[in-house]
Amino acid sequence: MRIDIITVLPELLKSPFEASILKRAIEANLVEVHFHNLRDYTTDNYKTIDDYQFGGGAGMVMLVEPIDKCITKLKAEREYDDIIYMTPDGETLKQGLANTLSLSENIIILCGHYKGVDQRVRDLFITKEISIGDYVLSGGELGAAVLCDSIIRLIPGVLGNETSALTDSFQDNLLAPPIYTRPREYKGLKVPEILFSGNFPEIEKWRENQAFEHTKERRPDLLED
């Protein structure tokens, strides 16, 4: 998989890809992540990427032209499954969307700034608009990092144990059950006996039941879908 990220602040985005699982995935060639600085696609001496809104109103608008140049160059080099715009008015990111996107060959992610991009960017190029939640960030970069993390960890081979992504919270619309490791007892709190029984079908049943009860208590909305 290849991810091209278009941003005015590449330095804000890079560190999540230089540590831990994402770094290993890149080093193992399971994913390529490329950053494109929008200012490299400007044509004036000031490297202008935004301007005032037509019709008045507070906040600057990102210009269509540098974004067009960058996207057009990338599209000439390969085909993209999706060109995604990070925006608070997009579809809310859920596990199912991450699952779908993890099957992509190539995607572009465009990070918005200021008030956002000229509507014609959305009309001409964008195939999916994604929000990471109902709050407003100062730019799309942190959202793009969240989206990339949620996608990349699903690519086969990225997680050590292939099954571990499948047992994440949300994969079956349930939150994950509680998990334990050593010691068997800590400050009076004991690990449930069933986990030492060696009876794996029973352990699996217990986990399913715990996941269900946990979801019913914390996120009953997940059980309604």
Query: In the complex, what is the shortest distance from the CB of residue 123 to ligand ADE, in angstroms, rounded to a whole number?
Result: 19
Q: How far is the CB of 19 from ligand ADE (least distance, A)?
A: 22
Task: Tell me the window of 12-20, 32-40, 86-94, 153-161 that interacts with ligand ADE (CB under 6 A).
Answer: 86-94
| Span of 64-72, 84-92, 175-183, 203-211 interacting with ligand ADE by CB under 6 A | 84-92
Q: By CB under 6 A, is residue 13 in contact with ligand ADE?
A: no
Tokens of 200: 């794996």
Contact at 8 Å (CB) between 7 and 36? yes
Position among 7, 102, 106, 131 found at the interface with ligand ADE (CB under 6 A): 131
Does position 132 interact with ligand ADE (CB under 6 A)? The reply is yes
Q: How far is the CB of 8 from ligand ADE (least distance, A)?
A: 13
- Residues 135-154 contacting ligand ADE, CB under 6 A: 135-137, 140, 143
* Residues of span 165-224 touching ligand ADE by CB under 6 A: none
Q: How far is the CB of 93 from ligand ADE (least distance, A)?
A: 8
Taking the C-alpha atoms of residue 55 and residue 42, their distance in angstroms, rounded to an integer, is: 24
C-alpha angle with apex 161: 101 to 185, nearest 5 degrees? 120
Matching residue, tokens 């990220």: 5
Per DSSP, the three-state class of 110 is strand
SS3 223: helix
User: Rounded to whole angstroms, how far apart are CA atoms 32 and 151?
Assistant: 12
86 binds ligand ADE (CB under 6 A): yes
| Residue 66 or 143 with smaller CB distance to ligand ADE | 143
**CA pair distance 172, 212, nearest whole angstrom:** 10
Q: How far is the CB of 60 from ligand ADE (least distance, A)?
A: 14
Q: Judged by CB under 6 A, which of 102, 112, 159, 207 binds ligand ADE?
A: 112
Of the candidates 96, 133, 157, 178, which one interacts with ligand ADE according to CB under 6 A? Answer: 133
- How wide is the angle at C-alpha 208 spanned by C-alphas 203 and 212, nearest 5°? 145
Which of these, 222, 127, 139, 215, lies nearest to 178 by C-alpha position?
215
Q: What is the DSSP letter of 140?
A: S
Please tell me whether residue 28 adopts helix, strand or coil conformation.
Answer: coil
Smallest gap from residue 113 Cβ to ligand ADE (A): 8
Nearest to 142 by CA among 14, 49, 2: 14
Binding site for ligand ADE (CB under 6 A): 86-88, 112, 131-133, 135-137, 140, 143
